[in-house]
Amino acid sequence: MQTIQYVAFTIGVIGAVVVGWGVLIAAVELVHLEFMRFKGENICRKREYLRHHLGSYILLGLEFLIAADIIRTVVEPTLQELAVLGSIVAIRTVLSFFLNREMQGSHECKGS
């Protein structure tokens, strides 16, 4: 049982690292884009691409975190833990749904 807890913890850490890595990459790219904007370039499309790129990292990280919660609850499934897991999965699923929908929607650029 202890091994399963370590596995769940490791998967949760991987999820957090994926989100953190995506944020770091997006922050560096955003700074680069803003310098381009200051030079007079229209960065709207590139910024939209960046938003989608960051969104994909967030979605992937959320999937890892959901998997970790499921594994953690499998070890000792009390009614309270199942209710908490259900709530967490529901919230993360709604977040994933709307992030995915946002990423698939087409956004028109109206300037930089």
Work out the average pLDDT over 47-74.
88
- Residue of higher predicted confidence among 28 and 112: 28
10-38 burial string, b = 16+ CB within 10 Å, else e? Answer: ebbebbeebbeebeeebeebbeebeeeee
User: Domain coordinates of the chain in residue numbers?
Assistant: 2-104
What would the pLDDT profile of 72-88 be if each residue is shown by its tens digit? 888 777 888 788 888 88
